[in-house]
Structure 1
């Protein structure tokens, strides 16, 4: 507090008081004038509520997302686009008195005057609160503000309905195309599977067990024919020796080829019974052949008994040889046919695993596409129901809760705040001007300033004492002329 002289600073303030008052009154007066001439601003509010769907979601699922806040934000963004705002401003002539305003300025001003805000509604515990929005617009004319906000609300409702209907129709169209695509793919796979089965009908996996059984039967038959052929060839050899007079067997000429074949089949049957069961196809086949040969042998013996002695023994042997040769030819042809069948069976059995893999791949594709088709068909039904719900406005939708009416009181400008702010600004500017003037003034006005400037300690300091007239004229010179006229000086 050594250098702080309150009397000195008070004298400085009194000396600068005219400037202080001039700045304070000028700024405050300007603020009061601006606050008084600013036009009033009115805000009109309209309310939109989200209505619950009229059909329960458990009975018919909607195909439009139910995130209504996001939907509202999307609608707001679309409605706040440049073309929509310019069209709305042109419809109501909002800027007809500002022809110099550019489109960018109009769009920015419209966005600043328009607002869409959610309303928080209280709901009982355990229940879901309703969702609502308030749409506001500011204008100098209360009727114009109400008309603009009502038109904007109607556009929002219509835009939301168009968006929901469009989404439902687009969803239905998508699933219609998807089901048609999957149905075409199913038809294509069915055709491929049918063509593959027709091309490989003898080598399909479902007939593999039958073909293997058939292969075993043919192999057994081939063995039987081989044994029969061997027996016939032995009999033929004996007959040939008899004809040549070299066979000394007492019974060689007595047995006919049928009897020799019958004896050979009986030996084969005895051998096969040690290996196979009586119900096996091979045993049953042997029994059938033996029974047939037994009847044939009996018939031959009857024919020989009634035939008499007209035929010689040599002709009987020739007939037996002819029968044996004929039988051998039949056996050879049958063996060739069996070999061909066995070759075909072996080829088809070898091709079956590859065909099975290809067929399984086609059937897996068919099953996958079929499951996709079933899912798409179910969703197509849901999409069709959802589209009808949206077209009839039975789903969740926006509706007008309250239209805007012309406001009775303006919301601005805040004249008192403007006036108070201008007064505070005047005080700050005036005080700052006084401080700045004193900061720039480097003259010596106190003894301590003289001591600090000269770095000496004077014996005494005598202040300047002006005359009475000089003091008054000096003070009057400091007061501006206009201010002196106002106060009558």
Structure 2
């Protein structure tokens, strides 16, 4: 206990040195904190704002993942060419030069990359299954607060531009794709319709819908075949009876004289041509061949057919012509039946081919319908993005010039100076006492001389001692007061005006 009182009294006698060194350390901390070049940091905060139009009414066609989109934006903004362009336009780091005096682009890019920061964070929603809000923080450090704010805001401007470009380009690319798809499918539909029409025109006689008609016609021809045979037989019988009656009357019948062979062949060919014209197209080779034969026979006949000399000759010629016409009709019926059989045989293959064409056409129609709907949705999405009504980045806090630097921490340096001065003062007091060999207590007599004191007398100060103590007290008080005044002045000049405190 006595030791504590003794050391406390020593500390009180040397307290002025402790205060003085503490004030000096504080002054040194204030000066050092001011002399270090300050570094200012400007921050801007952006948030991903959701779509302003409900998805139930109209939705944007840009459905990219928010975090992935922000990562792409950050990569684009931090790209080398982009940063160098920003450094050139804003004249950043003018002192970074090569040995030749040219701008050191590698050093500029490295310095700018180190001084800026773009961070993406998420903040959990307040309840339930709400989506987390996504934020983007843009920071830039510089020796000037104004420059830090300018560069941070420039970065924000570029980020907003990249976000708008990504969304509008995605919406426009989607619209262009579906517009081209609609045009392509429209052209394909036109080709498909033309192919179906051409197929029907080329196979008009053997289409599936005509199969019942073809079968009815074939059945009708089959039914008419015996009638045509009976008709030919009837004409031949009439001709035979007419000739026999003529011969019974004693007159000889010379058919070649009554109806010359050349004229008969000409009539027969004309009857065949007229009958085939009813069942064959006009450009059919058989009709053309018959026409050529008729022209050849007509040119070879030197004498035209004379008028019949009697009713018998006229009737015989008429029966011969009827026989030619009936046989021509029979031949035409056979040709028509062969045609119908061919067409009926073609119907299944034509039906399959037509079904394939129609199926492809229906598929194209379905694709065209879906593409048209998708184009309408893409047009709506493009309008939403052009009006900035979709999901987008919005600035919450614009970067402003900071009032305080982030480096150095002046408070920490000042407090460190204060602590260093205080510790140095304590060390000075302790060291001085440890190095003082004088005897100031009875315990010192016993420890140093090995004797035990029966009694001790206090030191009696002389007037000279008192005067010396007063002078030392005045000097030490003046030094402490001066140091305190210097600390306050430095604090007011370098850190904060005193009128803001008091």
Task: Report the equivalent of 1:358.
Answer: 353
Partner SS for 2:51: coil
Contact 1:118-1:132 at 8 Å conserved across structures: yes
Tell me which of 389, 403, 406 is aligned to 1:408.
403
Q: Structure 1, unaligned stretches of length 5 or more?
A: 1-32, 246-314, 421-489
Task: Report the equivalent of 1:383.
Answer: 378
Contact 2:96-2:107 at 8 Å conserved across structures: no
2:84 aligned with 1:86? yes
- Alignment RMSD (CA, Å): 3.4
- The structural deviation recorded for 1:61 is 2.0
Tell me which of 100, 103, 106 is aligned to 2:105.
103
Partner SS for 1:193: helix
Residues 97 and 317 of structure 1: is their aligned pair in 2 closer, same or farther, counting only changes over 3 Å? closer
Q: Distance in 1 between matches of 2:173 and 2:241?
A: 95
Aligned positions of 1:5-154 closer than 5 A: 39-100=37-98, 102-123=104-125, 124-154=127-157
2:365 aligned with 1:370? yes
Contact 1:66-1:396 at 8 Å conserved across structures: no
TM-score relative to the length of structure 2: 0.56
- 1:429-487: CA deviation from partner (whole Å, max 9, x where unpaired): xxxxxxxxxxxxxxxxxxxxxxxxxxxxxxxxxxxxxxxxxxxxxxxxxxxxxxxxxxx
Task: Report the equivalent of 1:454.
Answer: none
Partner SS for 2:336: helix
Aligned positions of 1:430-449 closer than 5 A: none
| Residue-pair matches, total | 318
Task: Report the equivalent of 1:173.
Answer: 176
- 1:119-176: CA deviation from partner (whole Å, max 9, x where unpaired): 3323112322322211111222222212211121122112211221222222222222
Q: Distance in 2 between matches of 1:131 and 1:356?
A: 61
Contact 1:47-1:133 at 8 Å conserved across structures: yes
- The structural deviation recorded for 1:82 is 1.6
Q: Distance in 1 between matches of 2:197 and 2:50?
A: 52
Residues 237 and 83 of structure 1: is their aligned pair in 2 closer, same or farther, counting only changes over 3 Å? same
Partner SS for 1:132: strand
Residues 340 and 34 of structure 1: is their aligned pair in 2 closer, same or farther, counting only changes over 3 Å? farther
- 1:241-269: CA deviation from partner (whole Å, max 9, x where unpaired): 77777xxxxxxxxxxxxxxxxxxxxxxxx
Q: Distance in 1 between matches of 2:85 and 2:247?
A: 128
Partner SS for 1:55: coil
Task: Report the equivalent of 1:213.
Answer: 216
Q: Which moved more, 1:136-145 or 1:389-398?
A: 136-145
- The structural deviation recorded for 1:216 is 1.3
- 1:256-291: CA deviation from partner (whole Å, max 9, x where unpaired): xxxxxxxxxxxxxxxxxxxxxxxxxxxxxxxxxxxx
Partner SS for 2:46: strand
Task: Report the equivalent of 2:488.
Answer: none
Contact 2:43-2:138 at 8 Å conserved across structures: yes
Contact 1:86-1:103 at 8 Å conserved across structures: yes
Q: Which moved more, 1:110-119 or 1:235-244?
A: 235-244
Task: Report the equivalent of 1:14.
Answer: none
Task: Report the equivalent of 2:307.
Answer: none
Task: Report the equivalent of 2:387.
Answer: 392
Q: Distance in 1 between matches of 2:179 and 2:57?
A: 22
Residues 117 and 242 of structure 1: is their aligned pair in 2 closer, same or farther, counting only changes over 3 Å? same
Q: Distance in 2 between matches of 1:236 and 1:88?
A: 115
Q: Distance in 2 between matches of 1:223 and 1:360?
A: 39
Q: Distance in 2 between matches of 1:102 and 1:239?
A: 127
Contact 2:124-2:131 at 8 Å conserved across structures: no
TM-score relative to the length of structure 1: 0.58
